[in-house]
Structure 1
Amino acid sequence: MPFTKNKFPRLPLWSELPNFDLHLDQLLDITNSFVEPLIEEKITKTMMHNYFKAGIIEAPIKKKYERKQLAGAIVIGVLKNVFSLSEIEQGLCLILADTSPAVGYDNFIKMFNEQSSQKAIKNPPMTSINLETTSGTTLVQYSAVQSVLFWFLARRIIQKNQVSMEK
Structure 2
Amino acid sequence: MPKTTTELQIKLPMWEELPTFSLHLDQLLDLTNGYLEPIIGDKITKTMLHNYFKAKILVPPVKKKYQRTQLAGAIVVGLLKNIFSLNEVKAGLMALLGSGSPKVGYNNFVIMFNEQAAKAGKELSDPTSLELKSASQATLMQYDAVQSILFWLSAKNRLNGLVNNDDKHDE
The TM-score with structure 2 as length reference comes to 0.68
Over residues 67-89 of structure 1, what are the superposed CA-to-partner deviations in whole Å (9 max), with x where a residue is unaligned? 00000000001111011110000
Separation in structure 1 between the aligned mates of residue 116 and residue 124 of structure 2, nearest angstrom: 13
- Tell which has more relative contact order, 1 or 2 (C-alpha 8 A, sep 6+): 1
Instruction: Tell me by how many angstroms 1:60 deviates.
Output: 0.4
Unaligned runs of 5+ in 2: 126-146, 153-171
**Could you tell me the percent identity over the aligned residues?**
59
Pairing 1:80–2:60 present: no
Separation in structure 2 between the aligned mates of residue 14 and residue 49 of structure 1, nearest angstrom: 22
1:79 is aligned with what amino acid? L
CA-atom RMSD, angstroms? Answer: 2.3
Unaligned runs of 5+ in 1: 125-145, 152-167
Check conservation: 1:23, 1:65, Cα contact below 8 A.
yes
1:97 is aligned with what amino acid? G
How many residues matched?
A: 126
Alignment partner, residue 23 of structure 2: 22
Check conservation: 1:8, 1:38, Cα contact below 8 A.
no
Instruction: Tell me by how many angstroms 1:6 deviates.
Output: 2.7
Alignment partner, residue 104 of structure 1: 105
1:91 is aligned with what amino acid? G
Larger radius of gyration: 1
2:50 is aligned with what amino acid? H
SS at match of 2:30: helix
Separation in structure 1 between the aligned mates of residue 44 and residue 117 of structure 2, nearest angstrom: 21
Alignment partner, residue 43 of structure 1: 44
Instruction: Tell me by how many angstroms 1:39 deviates.
Output: 1.4
Instruction: Tell me by how many angstroms 1:121 deviates.
Output: 2.8
Check conservation: 1:23, 1:64, Cα contact below 8 A.
yes
The TM-score with structure 1 as length reference comes to 0.70
Alignment partner, residue 57 of structure 2: 56
Rate the CA distance shift 1:63–1:118 in 2: closer, same or farther, 3 A: same
